Amino acid sequence: MAEAAQAFDTFNLDVMYALPGQSLHDLALDVQTALSYQPPHVSIYHLTIEPNTVFAKHPPVLPEDDSAYAMMDRITELTAAQGLARYEVSAYAKPGHSCWHNLNYWQFGDYLGIGAGAHSKLSFAHRVVRQVRFREPQLYMEQALKGLPVTRSGDVARSELPFEFMLNALRLKGGFSLSDYTERTGLAITSLQKGLQLAEQKGLIARDFERVWPTELGFDFLSDLQSLFLPES
């Protein structure tokens, strides 16, 4: 890591917390060790137990929710002391070092994935398309040589666009502009009105005539906030 710090103007460190058996003291040591390398960007993730994994079959004992929240508060304190601001729910950066790649995702921008298993999001005048390329490298090469590398391609339903947008945009501390929503989804801002009103009543967002952004409470309960924009069945 010392070599990376010497060779590059910017670099990132990934840190996980709420690990099996981890205490608040252990977490602080982990973060302090990472920050000792003076990284301009740090990504910090809560451990998630994914289905169909060994952890899911044999669940470890994880810290209680209250302990995990205390860890998050400690992370914010330690990173702030080093001049890193929390600009995204899992990302902290010094001024000028926010990750452009991830910001494009969170702002519902487009991207073209090339290679085995790559994903793409492409916007057109009246639709948004998501694509997935063949995952197995040999099969991908065979299909790509035929000009058919995409195994799955489909339009995002208009009813799902509000949730898709908010799933990404609400990860950013600065939220999003109302004009960006209409430009990138093709929908009127009224399509969000019900969710915005409910989120504001719960104290999960703040807004003005130009922007919407998550509050500290909204950041802490981001999944609950995002779920308010799920399409109605």
The string of pLDDT tens digits covering residues 72-83 is 999 999 999 999
Does residue 4 carry a pLDDT above 80? no
Query: Where in the chain do CATH 3.30.750.200 domains reside?
Result: 2-98
pLDDT at 18: 94
pLDDT at 233: 58
Residues 6+ apart with CB under 8 A from 213: 172, 173, 174, 175, 176, 205, 206, 207
From the list 66, 61, 53, 81, the residue with the least C-alpha distance to 24 is 66
Instruction: Please provide the CATH number assigned to the domain covering 160-227.
Output: 1.10.10.10
Average pLDDT for the chain: 93
Query: Where in the chain do CATH 1.10.10.10 domains reside?
Result: 160-227
pLDDT tens digit sequence for 107-162? 999 999 999 999 999 999 889 999 999 999 999 999 999 999 999 999 999 999 99
Architecture of domain 2-98: 2-Layer Sandwich (3.30)
Does residue 212 carry a pLDDT above 90? yes
Does residue 5 carry a pLDDT above 80? no
From the list 41, 49, 17, the residue with the least C-alpha distance to 31 is 17
